[in-house]
């Protein structure tokens, strides 16, 4: 079969890597791809926003299924566009993707269907938002309503920080149109957890839980990023607690979307805060997380293509999905200065052994997934904020963590930055 993956980040490289391992896959294409996908797939220089060109490519090349990685084309309606042309595509419709595209929409749906989440209000004008913040006090959470590449959330610990955050989003337009409306939430105490689920209408098949590290510096300090690393599974979460999340949050949301006539098909990302009152929703996303994908997919033993095809054929509920008992850790190597301004174009050294053109290339249970890279004159250069995700898996979390940092130690580029404490939280609690 021929598969087209849409996107250019670490999540998409991971999808390409996993799909290329399927015995049913003859060729993987990635549009537009990056310096890493080029070793496993054929990169196609079509922008993710050019639906007509992507659909034409899928038709001309007789692509059997297209898999969408990022949120922007999903919200823009790429699934609807392909479906109208009888081109098989995996992901939610634009209407269903609103669960990520508008936090106000998602929160109102949770409120209507009594899905546990933080108390909130949303605002379209600056003065009302500032008045609300002054009334509620701090700590408090300020969120841009729309898509902001995972960076549109500010946790304000003081009244001054809260007012500054509102102004930053609504007055200074830090996140562009995403901040035309803000959602202001109560501050929830606890640890965060990500649960990705394969969803097809009412059918929910949860994956292995993972924990992302959003803040740029060790000890969860500094501004939020798109994610500086992750680990899976999460030893702080037992099977009973996981089942509680599925039964009280994920399944009710899938069911709610069916009732609202916008059934969800694809991967539903559920960000959870493990509070003293039980699990509560931080956010829903309409696709796989990045960098969570980099630790979850290496643990999937069932053919990913089989899962995707079962979803498209309406047989997901009948498919047995197997997971490895291993643990995985990924450490993101970022450009110096990220998530603010950062320079790019630096050559990356030490990648050779993970760049082999083998579908299932594995080097000692490690792999380096590319996020912000490009190839020029045979050299891999940095081209984004998050550059690489050094990933390792093994029989224990400690083993995976040690191996992941060993991989990091073998790779270098100018002004690189990474956290030194990815997965440490797991050991403090066990």
In a domain, 107, yes or no: no
Q: What is the pLDDT of residue 362?
A: 55
Which of 180, 195, 214 lies at the terminal end of a domain, its last residue? 180
Identify the CATH number of the domain in which residue 41 sits.
3.40.50.20
Dihedral of the alpha carbons of 73, 383, 407, 390, in degrees to the nearest 10:
-10
Number of domains observed in the structure of the chain: 2
In a domain, 163, yes or no: yes
Reply yes or no on whether the pLDDT at 310 is more than 80.
yes
In a domain, 49, yes or no: yes
In a domain, 309, yes or no: no
CA-wise closest residue to 282 among 159, 94, 110, 91: 110
Q: How confident is the model at residue 429 (pLDDT cuts 50, 70, 90)?
A: low
84 and 43 within one domain: yes
Q: What is the pLDDT of residue 430?
A: 44
pLDDT digits (tens, 9 = 90+) for 330-339: 999 999 999 9
Which of 52, 77, 94 lies at the terminal end of a domain, its last residue? 94
Count of CB atoms situated within 10 Å of the CB of 395: 12
Instruction: Return the higher-pLDDT residue of 313 and 148.
Output: 313
Mean pLDDT of the chain: 94
Average confidence (pLDDT) over 282-288? 95
Which of 76, 94, 112 lies at the terminal end of a domain, its last residue? 94
Residues in the chain: 430
Q: What is the pLDDT of residue 199?
A: 98
In a domain, 137, yes or no: yes
Average confidence (pLDDT) over 161-183? 89
Identify the CATH number of the domain in which residue 144 sits.
3.30.1490.20
Average confidence (pLDDT) over 213-230? 93
Reply yes or no on whether the pLDDT at 150 is more than 80.
no
Q: Phi and psi (nearest 5°) for 215?
A: -65, 150
Q: Global pTM?
A: 0.93
Q: How confident is the model at residue 254 (pLDDT cuts 50, 70, 90)?
A: very high
pLDDT digits (tens, 9 = 90+) for 26-36: 999 999 999 99
Reply yes or no on whether the pLDDT at 361 is more than 90.
no
Q: What is the pLDDT of residue 428?
A: 79
Reply yes or no on whether the pLDDT at 356 is more than 80.
no
E strands, 13-81, are 27-32, 42-43, 65-68
84 and 16 within one domain: yes
6 and 83 within one domain: yes
In a domain, 243, yes or no: no
Average confidence (pLDDT) over 375-384? 93
pLDDT digits (tens, 9 = 90+) for 80-138: 999 999 999 999 999 999 999 998 999 999 999 999 999 988 999 999 999 999 998 98
Q: How confident is the model at residue 76 (pLDDT cuts 50, 70, 90)?
A: very high
In a domain, 416, yes or no: no
HSE-up of 174 (CA within 13 Å, CB side)?
20
Q: What does the alpha-carbon distance between residue 264 and residue 404 come to, in Å, rounded to a whole number?
A: 34
Q: What does the alpha-carbon distance between residue 302 and residue 304 come to, in Å, rounded to a whole number?
A: 6
Domain that includes residue 60, residue range: 2-94
Q: What is the pLDDT of residue 145?
A: 86
In a domain, 369, yes or no: no
89 and 129 within one domain: no
Average confidence (pLDDT) over 2-28? 97
């Amino acid at each position: 079969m021929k598969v087209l993956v849409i996107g250019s980040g670490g999540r998409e490289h991971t999808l390409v890597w996993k799909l290329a391992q399927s015995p049913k896959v003859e060729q993987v294409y990635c549009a537009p791809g990056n310096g890493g996908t080029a070793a496993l797939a054929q990169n196609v220089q079509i922008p993710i926003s050019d639906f007509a060109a992507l659909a034409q490519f899928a038709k001309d090349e007789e692509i059997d299924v297209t898999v969408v990685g990022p949120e922007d084309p999903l919200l823009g309606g790429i699934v609807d566009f392909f479906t109208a042309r009888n081109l098989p595509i995996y992901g939610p419709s634009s209407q269903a993707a609103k669960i990520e595209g508008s936090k106000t929409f998602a929160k109102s749906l949770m409120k209507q269907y009594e899905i546990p989440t933080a108390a909130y209000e949303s605002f379209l004008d600056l003065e009302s938002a500032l008045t609300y913040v002054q009334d509620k006090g701090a700590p408090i959470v300020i969120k841009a309503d729309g898509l902001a590449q995972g960076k549109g959330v500010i946790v304000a610990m003081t009244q001054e920080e809260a007012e500054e955050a509102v102004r930053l989003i609504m007055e200074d337009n830090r996140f562009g149109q995403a901040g035309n409306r803000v959602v202001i939430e109560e501050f929830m105490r606890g640890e965060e957890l990500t649960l990705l689920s394969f969803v097809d209408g009412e059918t929910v098949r949860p994956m292995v839980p993972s924990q992302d590290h959003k803040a740029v510096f060790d000890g969860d300090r500094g501004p939020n990023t798109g994610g500086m690393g992750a680990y899976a599974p999460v030893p702080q979460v037992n099977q009973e607690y996981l089942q509680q999340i599925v039964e009280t949050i994920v399944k009710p949301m899938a069911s709610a979307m069916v009732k609202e006539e916008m059934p969800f098909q694809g991967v539903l990302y559920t960000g959870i805060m493990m509070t003293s009152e039980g699990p509560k929703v931080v956010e829903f996303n309409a696709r796989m997380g990045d960098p969570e994908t980099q630790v979850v997919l290496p643990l999937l033993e069932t053919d990913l293509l089989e899962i995707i095809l079962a979803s498209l054929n309406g047989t997901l509920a009948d498919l047995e999905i197997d997971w490895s008992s291993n643990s995985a850790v990924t450490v993101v190597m970022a450009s110096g200065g990220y998530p603010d301004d950062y320079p790019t174009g630096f050559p990356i050294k030490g990648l050779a052994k993970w760049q082999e053109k083998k579908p299932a290339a594995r080097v000692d249970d490690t792999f380096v997934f590319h996020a912000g890279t490009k190839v020029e004159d045979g050299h891999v250069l940095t081209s984004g904020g998050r550059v690489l995700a050094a990933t390792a898996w093994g029989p224990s979390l400690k083993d995976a963590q040690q191996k992941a940092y060993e991989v990091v130690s073998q790779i270098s580029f100018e002004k690189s930055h990474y956290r030194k404490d990815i997965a440490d939280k797991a050991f403090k609690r066990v």
